[in-house]
Each structure stands twice: as C-alpha cells, then as structure tokens.
Chains A and B, each alone.
Chain A
C-alpha cells in the first residue's frame, strides 16, 4: 500500500512547528501504524533526513505511551484501540493521513509528536492511591468484595493514562482520567476510607495544572481506547459534591467546638 503522510514537525517546546508531507510505499496491510512509521524513519535515516520522533513502547495497547492524533482523532479511526494497535488495513491504499501530537495546554510538546504528560502523574500524586504501607495489612480474604463492585472497579482501573481523553476534549479536561481513578478506588472497601479526601485533592490538583472544565460533550468516552465510561465522571461528581458537603459540615462542627 502507498500513503501520503502529513506530519507535525517541531524541534522542541519553544520552536515553531509545521506540517510536512512524506510519501511511503510498499506497506503491508498487516503492518501496524508504527511499523509504517518505522519504514518512513528508516528511509529518512539512510537518506540524510530527520526521522520523526513519536512516543511508543509496548506496542500492544497497554502501556499508554503512544499518543498520535490521526486524521483528527486521538489514536486514529478505529474505535477502542490505541495507536500502536492500529493496522494499515484500516486505511485505503493511496490515503493521505494527517498525524499530529496531542494538543492540550497541560501537555507541552517535547518534539514532533512527543508530548509531556507528567501532569497526569501529578494528579495521581495528589491522591490517586490508598494510603497503606508495605507490611501490616490484613489477609487478602478478610474483606469480601462483591463481584459486581470488584468488576466495576476493574473496568475503571483499566485506564492506561494515555491522555487521549484530554486530547479529544475541546476544553482539554482530564475528567475521564480522574473519574476513572476516583471510581476504581471508591468502589472498593479498601479505597472507600479516604474517598472524600481523595476526590477533593485530585480535582484541586487538576484545576491547578491548567486542565479545562467538563462541558459534557462525551468526546472523551468515544475516543478512549479502553472504553472508560463517562459514568465514572458522574460518579466522581457525586463523590465530589458529597465530599464538599461533608467537609463543610466538618468545618461547622469544628468551629462550633
């Protein structure tokens, strides 16, 4: 198969970027999208060109490293897959393919198609954990967890932290990402204890980092490669409101003491 690629090139965070056109040919439909880009880069290297930088690692849809905005969609045209799981059979011979990085204020560009997503780590550091120490925990079967709850927690926990939801959102909000983590932990008895504090801290951190607000367009859900549901955002909002009420009540009680 043959393709024309229009790729965003940008030397570093401060440099000006532009779309540059490349042709690739002789690509097998069974090649992955990255194997197609590998072919382009090999050609660029041996002809004194400048290979295209892109982020990737596991190439099997689980690490969340890959992050290409293809033909106007994060992770490209196929629903429910990451960029690295995209195969060229999803395109037509002769297609022109537009490839850009994630675009969001909170994700500065490192080079070409590579962006800095450390903001997502910061949100987790703000509270995306259960505060247990190594050692001193009860036997794993001490607290039974209803299977349905555990399954829903699992569904939320499959978020790979890729940031496609942020890239898909016209406000660059990180609500789906946070909603997934808040839900995962709030659904389990182990995470329930700190649920109120967690959601408040994570949301406050998100606001600080320059992510936008949610306006309920659900673009995040439809472009999330792991099918994380917007029901998680609703759960987070409930948790957040509940927590706020709770902390206000706490304040009143404290002040009255």
Chain B
C-alpha cells in the first residue's frame, strides 16, 4: 500500500500554480508573528526562504554549520542559472524550459513541479538584479546569456564563473536585512542532528553548538530542511568538505521518505585525482564546454607517447584526434547532458585512450576558441576558472589543453516532497538540493541554482502558509516536553556511543573506505552483482565503524572530529540505501546506468512500463531493510521517448 500523495492541483498544467495560489489559505500578518519557523541551511534555498519568510512576518530561526551564512556551499556554483526570459529571441519559453528539464532528467521527474519551476524562473532573475547581483551584460547595458548542456537555446544567466557566489551574496544580503530587522535569528556554527515530532508533526530540532559542544533544543510550528546535497557519501566529490546528509537523514529516521537516493550526478568536467592524500575534487564549470572541445588521441601509439612525455598534446595532428562527443552526438556535440558526457569519457578511458599520468583523464581544449575569439574574450568568459585550474595543476589552459575527468557533483535524490514541498511528515518541508523533486534522473546544468531560489523565494512562502493557516491557535512549544527530552537524550547517547568506541581508525579513514565502495559499485556504472557486493561491504563497514572509530578530544568542546563522526555514521547508512535503490531499479536512466540495461550503442535503456515511478523509501530500523513505496509518474503533457542527442 502506498501512502504517497503528491497533491498536484487539478487543471491544465500551465494553470496549476496560479490555481493553487488562488485557492491556498493565507495567514494574516498578526498571526504570522505568533508562528515560528526553523530553516536549516543558508544556501540559496535556505537563505532565500528564511529571508522571504522573515519579510512576510513569520518568526524565523535559521541554522548553518559554517561561521557565517554566506559560506554555504551554493557559493561555489560557477556556471550559471537558467530562466526562460527569451532575451536572445531564440525561441525559448516556459514550456521549452519545462520540456528540456523533463527530458534532461530522463523522464523521471514530476511534470507539475517542473512546470512551476520553469514558470517562476523569470521572477528569480528580476529579483536578483534588483538585489544588485552583477550578472554579465552586453555593451548595451542589457543582460546576456550563455548556453548550457541539454538545451539548444541560450538561457543561462551568469556572473563570470562565479554565479553561485553572486546569487548567494544576494540572498545573504536579503537575509542580513531580515536579521537586522529582527524577523530572522541566526544560529551559526550549529550542527543540526535530529528532528523533534510532536503528535506526528515536525515541531523542532536538536542541534549541537559546534563551539561549545552543547546540545540545544529549538521549537517551531514548522521546520524547513535546506541542508544541500549528499555527494560527499563518495568521500571525493566537488562538494564542500562539510556538506552532509545529517539533517535530512535524521528526518528519514523519523519517518520522512527518501526518494531516488541512487540518482547521483557525475559531472564530466572536473580536475582529475592527483594522489592518495586527495581530499576533494574541483569542478571546472560546464560552461567551458561552450568553447572547449573534448578529445583523446585516436591512436594508441600517441597515447603511449603522451604518457612517456615524448610528445605534447599540440603535436597530435587534427586527424589523429578523436573528438568523441562530436563524433557520437553530432547534434549536441560537446554540449550533451552531463550523464552522457561522463559515460563517454569513462568509455574512452576504459578502452585505454585516457591521457595524463594515470590514464584516467581526457582533454578539454581551448586552442580553437582562443584562435577564433582571441585571448581576451576567453579570459573575460573563463578567467577565474583558468586561474583556478592553473593553481591546482600548475599548467596554463591557454597553452595546453586542460585535463579533466568525471567526478561526483550533485544528488538528484533526496527527501520526497509533494507539490507543496512538504515531506511525508506534516509540517516538515524540504527545499533545494536536499529534496528530490525537479531533476529526475539527471540534472541539467544551471538548473540547481534556479530550483533552490525558486523553492526559497517563490514557492515555499506560499505553500507553507497553507499549512500554517491551521496552526494559528497552536501556542509556542515548550522545549522541556517529553518529546524534546527523548530526542535530546537520543542525540547525547548516540554521540557518547561513537565517542566511547575504543577503536584506532580515524573518521576520515572510514569515510574514504565508504567512498571507495560507493564509487566502485554505485558510481558511473552499476550492476547487480556489484551492488550485492557493495551491500555486504557497507554493512560490514557500519558494524566496524561503531567498534573501530577513534574520536580524540571531548564532546563538550570545539571538536571537528565529533562533527565528522556524526556525518560519516549517517553517510554509511545512506550508502546502504543508495545501493538498495540502485539495485531495485532494473533499468538505466539518466545518471543511473545499469550495465545490464543498455542499447546496442551503449546508451541508457529505460524501462517505462515498469519503472516510470519515483522510488521513495521508508525507514524501518537500522538493521532492517527500508521499505520501497512507488509514486507512479503521470506524463500527460510530454510523450516519453528515448533521449537522443545525436
């Protein structure tokens, strides 16, 4: 039996959101003041939501683990943000953005949510410009666009290679304004470790003050999770070191369903791994594929000569290069979606044509573009990315092609939410990357920033009112109640359990081991036998963790090892669920590639008859397998077809 009801409004697709807004309940300003909302996260989703809710008059408490909200991981986003403005007059529209996003997600996202996303996209750009976000402009003084993968129109707004930074600083400034106005209170350097439910509704959280180690209780009428993605389950990823799943995972343990956990995005253009001490991977924005051409040598003898440093990449004649994306996908060329580009790179490297000292890299070459557009033009488009690359690799992309390889980047899966962005726990919302909603099995470039801000600025402030309108008579909660006592005690016990382990191995070491298992068996290509093996290894790792981890120092002090220990404990449990999800989905779609299910040309082979559903998992206990629920996806507007970028 399934308990999932997405509560999609009736009516034609294009009118659902307007109809919803007209029909939803409102809370009057006097009552808003009496209602408390907790927002966990200050990335694009959390900061925009907290600022907007504060502005509406609610009492907001916002949490982040960093020292300031401005450092949330959204700050690192590089390439851009999509919107259906159609400023270039190249045929864009809300419908086309919606269509591209559904298709890009390989038909595993919900039509109604994605359509709404496309509809509000334009408002985001308007608001950001009003906040002072310095998007790139033409000499006319008007805004300019660039192209991103998976689209044939130019709809991506950008601020050099630092779009996320500029958007987040915009949201942070709006948030700061509300903090100054007293509508939002900031709790920085807090690690949110658990959710508190009262009578089945989300009513608060338990957090650890990272400076003092104190366990704190916070109550509210509703709780909003905006804690970002969980790519760090792979240890190496492009996420920030502190990115984690813990708040979302604690919600899962309390009954919120977790959807499509195995849908992970492996980004094609990242700086390859340099060695064993590697702590994270650095993305080179997808925007580079506008001008960079991806290739490997076509002849094995050139591969060998390159590796022995007998020749330079530029010594290889044009005819002896394999521009494999242009060869395989002439229509989209270097701008195929990420999953396709990543698998194609893996395919070439597996076949032995990889470059670099490890043979696990391909070239991204700007020589043609520099010739065509000139050094300065390329510099103004990608200057900071080139500099970043040179810093890390000590080679200049102006002189020699970049070397890149796919890396874990984004997680499409996350907490299951309905049309209102509410999880299966009443009063608990999930927005931004931590929900599963809009990207199906593969996210298109420049659409995460759009989604985070859409959720926070323009969707949640409406939908949460519909819930809170029924809560105006609910008095503020006492954090000394038995529900809070039990939750706080459970967190304390768990910390103590980890701390008491008499082991010798560091948290990082366990994390690395988990990452290796995930990358090998649940990464770019998956198969049944490998997933079974992974399940076994992760279960072993979990048991070993509680016996074998070593936490130095004390719990009641600033102690980064304690912080990491909780996160890794949750990542291990999440890893297990990801593997189960990958195993149950006996089809290939988007970033989920099951080797058993591919076309004769090596493309992903979907099975719409059996798998056109969202797989939402329900927690059943740490030692019991989670239970799968299905939300069948209805496609009324779009006809399902095999994605083709040829």
Contacts and interface: CB of A to CB of B under 8 A. Distances in A.
B506 A147 contact: no
Interface in A93-139: 110-111, 114, 116-118, 120-121, 124-126, 128-135, 137-139
A38 interface: yes
Contacts, number: 215
B130 interface: yes
Given A55-B67, A58-B240, A126 B180 contact: yes
B169 interface: yes
Given A38-B508, A121-B68, A144-B141, 4 more contacts: A42-B508, A44-B552, A65-B66, A139-B126
Contact of B130 (A49, A55, A65, A138): A138
A59 B188 CA distance: 20
Contacts of A128: 173, 176
Contacts of A190: 129-132
B160 A12 contact: no
Contacts of B139: 147
Contacts of B162: 62, 158
A131 B506 contact: no
A181 to B, nearest CB: 9
Q: Ordered nearest first, which 4 A-B pairs have the shortest CB separation?
A: A144-B141, A129-B173, A137-B130, A154-B134
A220 B180 CA distance: 28
B457 interface: yes
Contacts of B69: 121
Contacts of B51: 134
A57 B71 contact: yes
B277 A38 contact: yes
Contacts of A46: 504-506, 550
Contacts of B506: 42, 45-46
B130 A130 contact: yes
B558 A12 contact: yes
A63 B243 CA distance: 13
B174 A134 contact: yes
Nearest to B179: A125
Interface of A: 11-12, 27-28, 30-32, 34-36, 38-39, 42, 44-46, 48-51, 53, 55-65, 80-81, 85, 87, 89, 110-111, 114, 116-118, 120-121, 124-126, 128-135, 137-141, 144-147, 150-151, 153-154, 157-158, 160-161, 184-185, 188, 190-191
B180 A153 contact: no
Contacts of B140: 144
Interface string B103-140: 00000000000000000000101111111101111111
B553 interface: yes
A117 B68 contact: yes
Contacts of B387: 80
Interface string B40-60: 000000001001100100000
B280 interface: yes
Interface string B152-191: 0000000110100110010011101101100000101000
Contact of A62 (B76, B141, B504): B76
A158 B561 CA distance: 31
A125 B180 contact: yes
Nearest to B162: A158
A28 B508 contact: no
A28 B241 contact: no
Nearest to B188: A118
Contacts of B458: 134-135
Nearest to B283: A60
Contacts of B173: 124, 128-130
Contacts of A59: 240-241, 279-280, 282
Residue with the highest number of chain A CB atoms closer than 10 Å, among B125, B165, B505: B165
Contacts of B282: 59-60
B560 A51 contact: yes
25 contacts: A49-B552, A58-B241, A59-B279, A59-B282, A60-B76, A63-B76, A63-B240, A87-B391, A111-B557, A120-B68, A121-B70, A124-B172, A128-B176, A134-B174, A134-B461, A135-B127, A135-B458, A137-B126, A140-B125, A144-B137, A145-B141, A147-B141, A150-B141, A161-B68, A184-B132
B85 to A, nearest CB: 7
B1 interface: no
Contact of A31 (B169, B275, B391): B275
Contact of B73 (A58, A114, A120): A58
A32 B76 CA distance: 18
Residue with the highest number of chain A CB atoms closer than 10 Å, among B69, B177, B242: B177
Contacts of A140: 85, 125-126, 128-129, 135, 143
B279 A130 contact: no
B11 to A, nearest CB: 23
B134 A153 contact: yes
A15 to B, nearest CB: 11
A135 B136 CA distance: 22
Nearest to B172: A124
A60 B388 contact: yes
Nearest to B123: A135
Given A124-B172, A161-B68, A28 B132 contact: no
A85 B388 contact: yes
Given A63-B76, A191-B132, A132 B143 contact: no
B566 interface: no
A49 B550 CA distance: 11
Contacts of B470: none
Interface in B525-560: 550, 552-553, 557-560
Given A85-B388, A128-B173, A111 B180 contact: no
